[in-house]
Structure formats: C-alpha cells, structure tokens
Amino acid sequence: MPKITIDNKEYEFENGMTVMQACEQAGTEIPRFCYHEKLSIAGNCRMCLVEMEKAPKPIASCAMPAAEGMVIKTNTDTVKKARKGVMEFLLINHPLDCPICDQGGECDLQDQAMYYGFDKTRYEENKRAVQNKNMGPLVKTIMTRCIHCTRCVRFSTEVAGVDDIGLLGRGENAEITTYLEKTIESELSGNVIDLCPVGALTSKPYAFKSRPWELNKTETYDVFDGIGSSIRIDTRGKKVLRALPRINEETNEEWISDKSRFAIDGLSSQRLDNPYAKIDGKLQKSDWDTSFSLICNEIMQRGEKNSVFLSGKFTDVETLFAAKKFSESLQSNYYDCRFDNAQFIENSKESYKFNSTIQEIENADALLLIGTNPRWEAAVLNARIRKAYIENNCQIGLIGPKIDLTYKYTHLSDSIEYINELSSNNSSFNKVLDNAKNPLIIIGTSAINNSFGSNILQTTAAIAKKIQKNKEINPLNILHQDISRVGALELNFYNKYFDVDYNLQLKKLIDLNKPVVFLMGLDEIDLSLLKNAFVVYLGHHGDKAASIADIILPTPAYTEKSSTYMNIEGRVIQTNKCHNPLGEAREEWKIFRVLSNLLSQKLKFNNISELRNEITNKYNQFSYLNDINPIREITCDKTHKLNDIKIKYNISNFYMNDSISRSSETMALCTKDILNKAA
C-alpha cells in the first residue's frame, strides 16, 4: 500500500483516497464545510486547507488526491493563518444571530468560528442581505446565513434526483434557490437540513420549539416503511420533537424519508389515551376492567374458536406472538397479516424477503422492477437504486404504470402478463438481464395482491434463478411497504383460510359466525366487512377503524415502548422506549395476557423478558439482533402462464398512508402543497 507522511508520521492509505481522507484515517481531524462523504467534491469553502511539501501555497485537502511520498502538515502556523483567513471571509456577511438560530448548539460554523474566528472583523462595508426562499412546508430558509457550500444542491441533484435546488449568480451575488421558489418535490428533502453546516436551512415544523441541550436523545429505529432505518428520537417530557437519521451503511446510509422525519407531530394528535366502549350505539369512556369484561362476554357468546385476529402496519413481533398464542388457546386459527391480499408461497422464505440485501443494490448493473414504486414505498432504498444508476450505469426496466422514479428506466408494460415474455426470452429486456454481471429483481406487493400472486412469484423466481450469476447473491427481492409484514410471516401469522382473497374470505367468516374481531392497529381494511362482527380495536390513534369499533383499547406508539421488528431483509431490530405512554395506554401483549387469564386460558409469560424468551425459543431467528442470514438459494421457481392483470400501486399518497401520518398536520400540508390533494 502507498504511504503518506502526515505531521511527521508515516501512514498507509488506500489508492483513490484524497488527502483529507488519508488524514482522517490517520486520526487527524480536518475542518470542512462543503465536503461530505456521500456527495461529490466541490472544493468551495477552502476550510480544509493544509500545507503540502513543495507546494507554493496551502492546498484544499478535500480535492487533492493522496499520492505516494506526499508530506502533509495540518497544524503549522501557515495552515492556521490560512484557515483564519477563510473563516474571516465566511463571517463577513454572516449575521450574528446565534441566540435565535435553530442551528445554535449544533452549528459547524459556530464550532469552527470558536477556534479559527477573529474577535473583530476588518470588513467595514455594509453586510449583504439575501431574501429568504420558499422551499415548502418542511424546510425553513434564512439565506443570509448561507455560506454557499452547495451541499443542498449536490444532495438534491445526486442523491434525491430532483433539480429543484440550484445556485444562481456569481461571487457576492450568488444565491441558493429553488429557481421558481416552489416546494421541493422530493421524499428525501428533509436531509438538506442535516447537511446544511449553518442555519440557512432548518426544520420548519421544529422552528423555535426547543434547544438541543434540552432534549432527551434516544437511539431507535424507524417504522414508517419496511427498511427499519436507524434514527434518533429527541423528546422533551412526553412530546416527540425531532426524528433524525443515524448512520447505518447497511440500510439507510445516513438518510431518512420526509415521512419518517416529519410525521412525528402526528404522535401527539388524535391519540387514544383511554378505553372506550360502545353503549347504545355511542362510544363512551370506559375503564379497563369493564372493557375486558365486555370482551370476554362477547367471546363466550359468539364462540371462542370463532375469534379473529388481524394485524396492521405497525404491529410488532411481541404483539403478533401474544395474539397468536391467545388465538391458539381459544382454539381459533383465524389470524392473518395480509390485509392488502398479498400472496406468498408456503414454506418458502425467499418468497417474502429482500434476499440480495439492501446494500447489494449499489452493485447492480441491471434491475427489473415489477409492481413497485420504490420512491414512495421505500424512499431511502430508491436512493440506492439511483446510486446504482449513476455509478454502475444500471439499466432499469419497469412493469407497472409509468411513474417518476428520479432515474431513467425502460417502461416494459403495465400488465403482469409481460412476465410471460421475460419467462420465454421474448422480451428485449432479457438481453439486458443476461448480459449483466449483477442483475436484480424487485417485486412489490402491488404485483402479488391478487389470487394469482403465488403463480406470479413462482414465475418471477424462475426468471431470477435463470439470471443468477453469483450463487452468493439471490436476485429475487420482495419489497414490503410495512415494517410488520416480514416478522408476521416469520411467526406464521397467517393461514390458508385467507389465501387467494382476503376480503372475500373475511366477509364469509364474519357473516357466518359473527365473531369477535381484534384489529391490531389495522385501519387499511374495508370497514363494511366488519358490520356483523364485534370489533375490538387495539391502537394508538383514533383512525378509520376506531370509528366503527365496539371496544377501543389504547396502546403505545412506537416511541413509547420497546418492540421487536424484522425488516424486509430479515434483519431483526429492536426499538427503544423514548418516553412514557400517553394516558392509560397498555402494551398489546399485556392486554392479551389479561384476557387469557379471564378466560382461564392463561398464557405462560408474565413480563417482556419471559415473552421474548418464549419467542426466541420457538423462533430462533429472532435471537440475532441487527444481523441477517440472506437466503441464497431459489427453490420456489415454477413457470406459470400469467393472465393480463393491470397493476395498480397500493400507495396513492406517500405522505398520509398510515394512522400516524394521517394525524400529522405537517403531512397534510405536504399533501396539499406537493401532491395538490386535499388531506
């Protein structure tokens, strides 16, 4: 390996590194504003100046490739003087408004100015003022603070794939703007707030809410999509004020979607904090004992074995396991997680997992998308696809309605029938897949939410097996929209009764038995199906299904409890409790535990530790936190003749498609401003 001398010590470095990266690797911190590891090099700010032997003047370390034999000095008087000069220039027009700036306490400029800044300026002319720009309901702008690092411009263009932000003018007249001063139309726009090293771009919903040192910070995971992004929740008391990304190269890199970041205001709106019971056709406040008694009476009258348990978007593994055990104790096997009617193949885990891993997308040079809109279903995953498109010249084909995916693709068809063409090698895209070194297939639940779903999966698996070039990488990937789905399927929280047509079978069951139906945060259901049932709603928001429930039992939201989930790859993650639950909310597994006692069907676990031990004893895969064991072999391949079924994407509104985001004022504003829809 080549060697470089940094501050009189010799270090090895990898080919392709810049001087800054070599210094960082050696443990020497270099100040910077414009440089970011995930963005192209701009070399705008010049804060990263270092001295190089034989160079006539200090060099920008972020833009200088490291070379064998270089001698670099980072702490000489010349370097310090140069950085002080850069800092003086940056502060010429910068307003001294730190006390009222939301970036105060977290500002890179503030930190560096403390070390390299002058106590007084030599600049005597009037300061430049820049008009604030309209960037929509999420990003607040005070552009006089801007130092033209262009991080926001490069992120929008390179990562998000939208050209909404750019730089106009030159020199002192340069301005960062959205050109037409309109809302940034990207599902990742909030990340420019984290990237901005000053207070020019801040969070509009969070404005003037709190100071960073007043907040309790909890590391946890996101639940708004199937990725399970690493995030940090900032709270004050029982109020969630911020959600920020954590670095996790295997899943979300260091980005999160706007819904993950800004829908958190929905956690304090339309909350259920007290049990309710329907008396004389009207919901009235109740207490836990009365509610439990009413539920038990209904179960006994309607038949224990007829009870139905249906899970929703946010249902955690503990809840699913407890519900299943409770159901089995009642001798009922009516439980399912496939509210969108998505079909899978029994005893075939590769038919419901993202088998290649999320990180492997970056290496793809050919990608077939079937019935999925990754931009809305998993925004950070879509950013990975764009990276493959830019860096690997990945060729992408889409089967489904035409949509804007932030990268170019070949539209093959909007019908499932086109898979027949691929299966028989009659498609022009076959050549792309065959010639690729790392081809991948991503199939969304919108393609398999019909009675032929398993046939579609098997035929797609046969194509995946045919194009598999590396036995270590399985090209077949299923993209789920919900964090609960894979964990539920791992627990076998489904049965054949609901196969083929979920809604039809559920209607038949309810009309025949008129059972007690437990809805575990499930609002994405045709409410007319439930008119003959006694509905018990377990949830944290007064959403759609709560309005027709006979009993409402309040439960904690994802920030109010520690829960286990399994993401689309099969990676087990565990959220952390950020604050205490609101009102009288109880965890779902505790509710089932009490009901089992009252019905003399006592469950064995008494606390969360015993529950998790029971889960891991029966399902060992949940023992390995933050670890995955990718399925490399394709066994579910079988070719079928597929019918002409037009694909319709499940998500019609990215910003408001679950109980939390539907309660969010910020998401309602995004729906209005970006999608031009009524919330």
The pLDDT tens digits of the residues spanning 514-524 come to 999 999 999 99
Residue % of the chain over a pLDDT of 90: 90
In this prediction, residue 677 carries a pLDDT of: 75
Residue 374 and residue 381 in contact, taking contact as beta carbons nearer than 8 Å: yes
Question: Which candidate, 415, 423, 376, 381, places its Cα nearest to that of 398?
Answer: 415
Q: How far is CA 274 from CA 165, 277, 291, 574, in A?
A: 46, 10, 11, 26
What mean pLDDT is predicted for residues 544-555? 96
The residue among 377, 597, 342, 386 whose CA lies nearest residue 488 is 342
Note the pLDDT of residue 306.
95
The confidence score (pLDDT) of residue 497 equals 87
Distance linking the first and last C-alpha atoms of the chain: 58
Q: What is the pLDDT of residues 66-88, one digit of tens each?
A: 999 999 999 999 999 999 999 99
How far apart, in whole angstroms, are the C-alpha atoms of residue 103 and residue 196? 9
Model pLDDT, residue 389: 97
Strands of the 308-311 sheet, one edge to the other: 282-285, 276-279, 551-554, 534-539, 516-520, 308-311, 334-336
Cβ atoms of 102 and 206 closer than 8 Å: yes
| pTM given for the model | 0.95
Number of helical (H) and strand (E) elements in the chain, helices listed first? 18, 26
Tens-place pLDDT, residues 171-192: 888 999 987 777 899 999 999 9
- How far, in Å, are 151, 336, 339, 352 from residue 226 at the CA level? 28, 18, 15, 12
| 668 within 8 A of 656, measured Cβ to Cβ | yes
pLDDT at 50: 96
CA distance 142 to 74: 33
Work out the angle between the directed axes of helices 317-329 and 588-598 (0-180°, nearest 10). 10
Question: Mean pLDDT across the stretch 471-487?
Answer: 96
The C-alpha atoms of residue 531 and residue 229 are separated, in whole angstroms, by 38
Question: CA-to-CA distance for 218 and 578, rounded, in angstroms?
Answer: 6
What is the per-residue pLDDT for 346? 85
Average pLDDT, the chain: 94
Confidence of residue 678 (pLDDT cuts 50, 70, 90): low
Looking at per-residue confidence, does 577 or 115 come out higher?
577
Please say if the pLDDT value at position 679 is more than 70. no
**Interval 443-447 mean pLDDT:** 97
Task: Say if CB 230 and CB 252 are below 8 A apart.
Answer: yes
Dist CA 621 CA 571 (whole Å)? 9
- Who's near 382: CB < 8 A, 6+ residues apart? 187, 374, 375, 405, 406
CA distances from 538 to 140, 302, 541, 585, 589 (A): 37, 20, 9, 10, 11
**Has residue 544 got a pLDDT over 70?**
yes
Instruction: State the pLDDT confidence band at 525, using cuts at 50, 70 and 90.
Output: very high
Task: Work out the number of other CB atoms within 10 angstroms of the CB of residue 71.
Answer: 15
Instruction: Tell me the mean pLDDT in the region 373-377.
Output: 97
Tens-place pLDDT, residues 129-167? 899 999 999 999 999 999 999 999 999 999 999 999 999
Question: Distance (Å, rounded) from C-alpha 218 to C-alpha 179?
Answer: 38
Residue 394 has pLDDT above 70, yes or no: yes
Q: Which runs of consecutive H residues, i.e. helices, occur in 146-265?
A: 151-154, 191-195, 258-262
Structure tokens at 422: 């691929």
Per-residue confidence (pLDDT) for residue 120, from 0 to 100? 76
- The whole-angstrom separation of Cα 464 and Cα 367 is 11
User: What is the maximum span of the chain, computed from C-alpha positions, in angstroms?
Assistant: 91
Region of residue 337 (phi > 0: left; psi between -120 and 50: alpha; otherwise: beta): alpha
d(CA 156, CA 179): 13
Nearest to 133 by CA among 151, 115, 147, 146: 146
What does the angle CA 461 – CA 488 – CA 582 come to, to the nearest 5 degrees? 140
Q: How confident is the model at residue 602 (pLDDT cuts 50, 70, 90)?
A: confident
CA pair distance 319, 293, nearest whole angstrom: 21
Model confidence at 300, pLDDT cuts 50, 70, 90, reads: very high
Q: State residue 616's pLDDT score.
A: 96
Helix, strand, or coil (residue 589): helix
